[in-house]
Amino acid sequence: MSNKAMMHVLPVEAYTSQEWFDREQLKIFSRTWRFAGFREDIADPGDSITVQAGLNNIFIIKGRDHRLRAFHNICRHRGTQLLRAAGKAQKVLTCPYHDWTYDLEGKLISVPDEDPEFPNLDKSCYGLKPAKVDIWRSMIFVHPDPDAGSIMEWFGDIEPFLGPHNVDELIEYPEARGSYEINANWKVVVENYIDVYHLSHLHSGTLNMYDHAKAEYQFVGPHFAFWEPLAADYLENIERNAAMPLVLPKDKLGAWVPMLFPGLGLGESESDWSIFHITPLGPELSRVETRTRVKDTSAWEFQKQQWRSSRFFEKSITGKYAGDKNSDDPMTSGDFTAEDIYACEQQQKSLRSPYFEVGPSAEAGEKPVREHQQIVKTYLDS
């Protein structure tokens, strides 16, 4: 190791300024594949979901031919958004402003008062603008550019580093679906997710079933791969210790926790499979959506019991952590997510202090943090 301490790549403004935020929206989130939902969210013809991909609002709809198509959510008349949220079994898409109507394949099919208001209108020139949609490991992704490369060009190289879970066979545990805001820049949230150094410190009481010293991790293109085994003593009594029915064979137990660029974390463990989807809302505000898949319905029931006794779950309902009803301290919550949110928000608070100055960075345990910053920088410079 050199005498010179490892330093971070991005300046403080990258985490606080509107200007950085706007550039990231344009150069990162408008130019990469964006997670939109699970395959089963759009089950039947006419079902749709909308998703924000940087500057682009896009909707995905299943056609009468059962194919998924993605379109920019912009009426070709004067631009009003056609769809506001998820829709079910729509037959056609009618703009709320002047009722221009499109079919499920994006063709403009009717214009009120076409005669006499729009003489010689060639409706075939005003179909909805397409975006690109694809499915990978049961997840639907969109790209604003209809000519973008394939999803396998984007994710193919990281695939061998993901868990062996058969995602299609696991079922969603709907009560575990969560959405919350974190008062921190999206990169603070990502950096926390890929910071290996903090695991045995911030989470000393919550993630000790894993052997962090044996973690293996690296970037594969812009995506981060991470795996760690269960701790030996935990593994020895896995039947008694595991929170839920196992979804992996015994010789493959452990946790794969990749972070797919930009901002889609996966949590692929011995007993469940989940997503942790980060959306930047502002320079110092992010939303996280979580969805979890488990082995079967009996696993749901089991998990429900666990969640009922979880202090974090309790707080999401009552505003207080369970146990000590007067305590609002996430550091006693017994929940590693609450610990992470606490760390992110406390870190963000310091960034505007004139006395804040970033310190040296751990050579191995914080290498992913520096590498992610470099990837962001490369995108912004391109």
Q: Which stretch binds Fe ion (CB under 5 A): 3-11, 240-248, 294-302, 334-342?
A: 334-342
Site membership for ligand FES, residue 77 (CB under 6 A): yes
Nearer to ligand FES, 80 or 378 (CB): 80
Q: Pinpoint the alpha helices (H) of the chain.
A: 18-24, 114-117, 151-155, 186-194, 199-202, 232-236, 238-241, 297-308, 311-318, 336-350, 367-381
Choice from 7, 19, 22, 80 touching ligand FES (CB under 6 A): 80
Q: Which residue number is nearest to Fe ion in terms of Cβ?
A: 340
Per the structure block, which two tokens stand in for 138?
A: 């049961």
Interacting span for ligand FES (CB under 6 A) from 92-100, 121-129, 233-241, 259-267: 92-100
Q: Does 71 bind ligand FES (CB under 6 A)?
A: no
Query: Of 61, 34, 65, nearest to 49 (Cα)?
Result: 61
CA 124 – CA 103 distance, rounded (Å): 12
* Rounded alpha-carbon distances, angstroms, from residue 16 to 11, 124, 187, 203, 225: 10, 45, 11, 27, 27
Q: Residue 262, preceding bond cis, omega within 30 degrees? A: yes
Closest to 267 measured CA to CA, from 237, 227, 216: 227
Give yes or no for residue 180 binding ligand FES (CB under 6 A): no
Under the criterion CB under 6 A, does residue 123 sit at the interface with ligand FES? no
φ and ψ at residue 179, rounded to 5 degrees: -150, 120
340 near Fe ion (CB under 5 A): yes
Stretch that binds ligand FES, among 90-98, 170-178, 202-210, 317-325 (CB under 6 A): 90-98
Q: Which is nearer to ligand FES, 109 or 235 (CB)?
A: 109
Distance CA 60, CA 51 (A): 8
Q: State the minimum distance, in angstroms, from the CB of residue 101 to ligand FES.
A: 9
∠ CA 242-204-355, rounded to 5°: 145
Work out whether 104 is an interface residue with ligand FES (CB under 6 A): no
Binding-site residue total for ligand FES (CB under 6 A)? 8
- Tell me which stretch binds Fe ion (CB under 5 A): 95-103, 216-224, 340-348, 350-358: 340-348
- Classify 25 as helix, strand or coil: helix
Residue 180 binds what, of ligand FES, Fe ion, none (CB under 5 to 8 Å, by partner type)? Answer: none
- Minimum distance from residue 25 beta carbon to ligand FES (Å): 24
**97 touches ligand FES by CB under 6 A:** yes
Enumerate binding residues for Fe ion (CB under 5 A). Answer: 340
Residues that bind ligand FES (CB under 6 A): 75, 77-78, 80, 95, 97-98, 100
